[in-house]
């Protein structure tokens, strides 16, 4: 298997790419024409029925590339894979614009799925204010990752298989966000779980990568059990499983059942969205190709849990206890993962723990009832984290597959586009104004501080403190990563240094686009003291009622003053600036202050609190030992030995004993016959004696 990720395209491939670009341009012009007709009201058909095409097109792309596989040239694979995702994006954009114009969600029923006396479910897709945002994020960021993959995976032997999995992943994620019921969402939920296993273990002939894929699959199955339990509870309580049906009957759910259902759903979210204690699969997901890491970590799979809680916000607000659990786990995860990221040296591992930490922020937001803030951070994170992961892939390619940042340095001059896009995304994730992360992170911290907790009074201050500490760590480890990688002198061997160069355009163009959005997209969700929060207003039809319930339950009294909000924004900026400044003092210019084995605290963070080792001794090894006991004793000794072998030995022994009676001598048979007659005669006469 070739892991090569290099890559000056050959002349023939350049010609094919020119053809591909022309074909995609023609497709884009066609869709823009339809868009212009929609804007003027001159629709050529009822586009509300096009919603099913959004997931169908990537699914069709996965089918075509999967069936024909290596028989297709790369040019055709590219057209199918990339064209299907971008087509879904343009269709989603048209429907989103119609939604903004009319305010009416787009709903399409494909066919009847499950019909019984108690349960009626359809295969139906709904594009409303919430799912519309998710569709645009998934298809836009996913489309850029598909384009980036053309350069990154150019020399891989399983090129078409890779794009098959990538399209299937996109299809599953779109089913998840568009499905109008929990079972249909769960189909997409399981689909992205399967695709994560296939993509993380894409290079499956490497045992470490195959093991990482299996780890992701198994850990996610633990969480998925919670979603299934929640479905049974909700069906028992409401008699419905569609989102609309559950919301209509939400008053039938008792507080106890609401808490149990929400906690079960959150168990599923901790698996899919990598929260404590089921986060351990996500750092190992770095075993897959870097574009896969960007797809999983940025816009798709790991955000599924946040989306699910936002979608069921009307249910979660019924249980303040469950909300506090969500917020607490989110805050603890944000800080816990951020501290691990402080002293990692694998460029992708730093970003992996950063993702776990940022997901913790999202759960902190939805846990305190700031559902729109959580979804807003989901969107901004998709842009800057995708840019960071794809930037790390560009660095890895430039360094000839080296991922240890201690062997990098001085890349700013040789890879300027990668450097600047990475730098802008670092500013965004650190929360520096006016980049996107500042607006979304500040909104979460503001809501965490000002939303009074009704279960444990004063808990909001603890949650805010967890978020601020995580923000400081985020700024520090991201700029530590930037300074070690891009500043100072290159520390690689001479041969590697001579061949470092910027990545091809198929990789740098997505980086530029993502960095641009990471810079400006935050202005759609400005704090109220700075202007209208357009994003919160957009989501109000879906999340507004739940937000009102939270505000009513908290009993706010007077709205916090504008001076307090400005002051807290200043504190957030100061904390982020302190983290960046400390990183510059310790690592600026490529220098190292901390050495390996420096102290216990350093080793504890470097070795990730030994959580994987603890899980191994507490769960993995006992289960392996128990399975070996079942194999060697129960299966081999009891079942095979006593039940199978002993029963066969008994039958065989009885048969051999009876065989002794078959001598072939007629006189013996006559004697036996006589004994039988005498025995019968004695039996019949015994009653007369």
Residues of the chain where predicted confidence (pLDDT) is lower than 50: 1-16, 19-20, 42-44, 557-558
DSSP H stretches of helix in 555-646: 562-587, 600-606, 611-615, 621-629
Tell me how far CA of residue 145 lies from CA of 128, 150, 198, 353, 498, in angstroms.
Answer: 25, 9, 17, 20, 28
What separation, in Å, do the N-terminal and C-terminal C-alpha atoms of the chain show?
Answer: 92
Q: How far apart are CA 171 and CA 295, in angstroms?
A: 13
In the three-class reduction of DSSP (H, G, I as helix; E, B as strand; rest coil), residue 500 is classed as coil
| Rounded to 5°, angle at Cα 208 from 3 and 384 | 65
Query: Residue 593: what pLDDT?
Result: 60
Query: Residue 674: what pLDDT?
Result: 86
Query: Residue 3: what pLDDT?
Result: 46
Residue 56: CB atoms within 10 Å: 20
pLDDT tens-digit readout, 328-380: 999 999 999 999 999 899 999 999 999 999 999 999 999 999 999 999 999 99
Query: Residue 330: what pLDDT?
Result: 96
Q: How far apart are CA 108 and CA 87, in angstroms?
A: 18
Mean pLDDT estimate for the chain: 87
In the three-class reduction of DSSP (H, G, I as helix; E, B as strand; rest coil), residue 559 is classed as coil
Q: In whole angstroms, what separates CA 160 from the centre of its chain?
A: 23
Q: How far apart are CA 542 and CA 372, in angstroms?
A: 10
């Amino acid at each position: 298997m070739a892991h090569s990720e290099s890559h000056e395209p050959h002349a023939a491939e350049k010609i094919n790419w020119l053809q591909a670009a022309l074909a995609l341009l023609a497709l884009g012009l066609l869709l823009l024409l339809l868009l212009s007709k929609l804007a003027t009201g001159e629709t050529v058909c009822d586009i509300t029925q096009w919603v099913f095409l959004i997931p169908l097109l990537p699914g069709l792309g996965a089918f075509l590339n999967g069936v024909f596989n290596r028989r297709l040239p790369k040019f055709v694979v590219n057209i199918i894979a990339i064209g299907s995702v971008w087509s879904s994006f343009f269709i989603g954009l048209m429907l989103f614009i119609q939604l903004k114009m009319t305010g009416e969600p787009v709903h399409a029923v494909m066919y009847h799925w499950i019909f019984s006396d108690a349960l009626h479910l359809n295969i139906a897709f709904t594009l409303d204010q919430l799912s519309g945002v998710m569709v645009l994020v998934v298809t836009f960021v996913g489309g850029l990752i598909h384009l980036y993959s053309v350069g990154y995976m150019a020399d891989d032997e399983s090129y078409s298989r890779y794009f098959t999995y990538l399209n299937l992943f996109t299809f599953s994620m779109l089913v998840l966000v568009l499905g109008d019921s929990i079972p249909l969402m769960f189909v997409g939920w399981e689909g992205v779980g399967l695709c994560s296993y296939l993509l993380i273990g894409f290079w499956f002939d490497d045992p470490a990568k195959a093991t990482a894929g299996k780890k992701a699959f198994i850990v996610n199955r633990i969480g998925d059990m919670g979603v299934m339990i929640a479905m049974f509870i909700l069906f028992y309580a409401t008699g419905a499983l569609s989102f609309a049906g559950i919301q209509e009957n939400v008053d039938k759910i008792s507080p106890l059942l609401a808490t149990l259902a929400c906690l079960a759903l959150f168990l599923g979210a901790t698996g899919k969205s990598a929260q404590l204690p089921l986060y351990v699969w996500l750092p190992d997901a770095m075993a897959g190709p870097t574009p896969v890491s960007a797809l999983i970590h940025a816009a798709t799979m790991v955000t599924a849990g946040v989306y699910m809680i936002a979608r069921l916000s009307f249910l979660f607000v019924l249980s303040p206890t469950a909300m506090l659990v969500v917020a607490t786990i989110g805050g603890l995860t944000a800080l816990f993962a951020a501290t691990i990221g402080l002293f990692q040296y694998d460029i992708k591992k730093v970003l992996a723990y950063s993702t776990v930490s940022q997901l913790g922020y999202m759960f902190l937001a939805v846990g305190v009832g700031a559902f729109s803030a959580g979804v807003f951070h989901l969107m901004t994170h998709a842009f800057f984290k995708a840019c960071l992961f794809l930037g790390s892939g560009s660095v890895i390619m430039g360094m000839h597959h080296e991922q240890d940042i201690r062997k990098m340095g001085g890349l700013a001059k040789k890879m300027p586009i990668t450097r600047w896009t990475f730098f802008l995304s670092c500013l965004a994730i650190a929360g520096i104004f006016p980049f996107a992360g500042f607006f979304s992170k500040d909104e979460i911290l503001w809501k965490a501080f000002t939303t009074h907790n009704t279960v444990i009074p004063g808990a909001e201050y603890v949650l805010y403190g967890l978020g601020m500490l995580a923000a400081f760590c985020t700024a520090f480890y991201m700029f530590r990563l930037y300074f070690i990688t891009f500043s100072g002198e290159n520390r690689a061997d001479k041969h590697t240094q001579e061949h470092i160069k910027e990545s091809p355009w198929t990789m740098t163009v997505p980086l530029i686009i993502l960095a641009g959005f990471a810079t400006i997209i935050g202005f759609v969700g400005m704090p109220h003291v700075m202007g209208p929060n357009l994003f919160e207003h957009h989501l109000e039809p879906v999340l507004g009622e739940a937000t009102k319930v939270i505000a009513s339950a908290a009993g706010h009294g007077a709205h916090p003053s504008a001076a307090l909000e400005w002051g807290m924004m200043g504190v957030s900026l100061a904390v982020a600036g302190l983290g960046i400044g400390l990183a510059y003092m310790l690592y600026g210019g490529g220098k190292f202050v901390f050495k390996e084995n420096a102290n216990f605290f350093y080793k504890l963070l470097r070795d990730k609190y030994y959580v994987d080792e603890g899980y191994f001794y507490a769960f993995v090894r006992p289960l392996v030992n128990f399975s070996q006991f079942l194999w060697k004793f129960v299966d081999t000794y009891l079942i095979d030995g006593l039940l199978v072998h002993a029963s066969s030995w008994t039958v065989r022994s009885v048969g051999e004993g009876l065989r002794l009676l078959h001598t072939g001598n007629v006189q013996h048979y006559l004697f036996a016959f006589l004994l039988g007659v005498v025995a019968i005669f004695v039996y019949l006469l015994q009653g007369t004696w």
